Amino acid sequence: MQDDIFKYELSFGDLSPEAIAESGQCFRMGVRPDGDVSLIAKGQMLIIRRNKDGGFSFNTTEEVFGSVWKDYFDLDTDYEGFRALIKEDDEFLKTAASFGTGIRILRQEPFEMLISFIISQRKTIPAIRTAIERLCESFGTKRYFMDTDGSEKTFYDFPSPEALAGASETELASCGLGYRLPYVREAAGRCAMGGLSGLEELPTAELIERLMDLKGVGIKVASCVALFAYHRLEVSPVDVWMKRVIDSVYGGSLPEEYAPCAGVIQQYLFNYARMTKLQG
């Protein structure tokens, strides 16, 4: 590791890049063979290293971290406060929250989240990652960064709406989109014409309704976009793992007490159920 690569160090007791990378909310974040975590977002390749003292190092400057990544990782939000809302007798959630401590809801780019979760339908997380990387390599801007070993490497931005809207069916088909291909094309075309403009100002119910106007966007995809792009923490997407938890542990619905931070609770439950392969 070069001395000038990791320029900014920060300690957070409630941040786990590894857990976030595996939490199903971000498909361009992963643990590298050397144990570092890499993330492609905001036109940058961010590399995060866990230090021996429990803190973290980032290959960025203090100024950029403060203006970009602090907000992206939602570091001003008190997640310990969310966990304090867990009911005393809710042993399952207490275990799940302890297991997933350090997961935070990232503030991601709306178009990327919309396309990513359209692609995610009926795909495993590895398959989603593969399709998204093919899309980025085919239509995203190529960029360069200095890796931790001092070598220059490349990565690709997530494509713009215009780039995807202008792609042919043959080009998109090569990315492994399957039946989702026309949904991706339509969403890209709508967004290229300003289809996501102003959505951040809408109440949550109206935001989800507008997202569902797009072909191929049902309640689960719209909920994921609302939570992971628009930071609507009261939204709790329900997939097969969450349905299994809700039905087998909570008798069909999450306790009302969790409503204000249902999205955070969902991440703890989803992560725990998937990682432990909870049976229904």
Positions marked catalytic: 220
Cα distances from 87 to residues 97, 239, 254, 256, in angstroms, run 12, 23, 11, 11
> Where do the H-state alpha helices sit in 5-154?
17-21, 62-64, 70-72, 79-83, 91-99, 110-119, 125-139
- Measured CA to CA, the distance from residue 185 to residue 215 in angstroms comes to 10
Q: Which of 258, 265, 224, 279 is nearest to 24 (CA)?
A: 224
C-beta of residue 22 within 8 angstroms of C-beta of residue 74:
no
Phi-psi region of 38 (alpha: psi -120 to 50; beta: other; left: phi over 0): beta
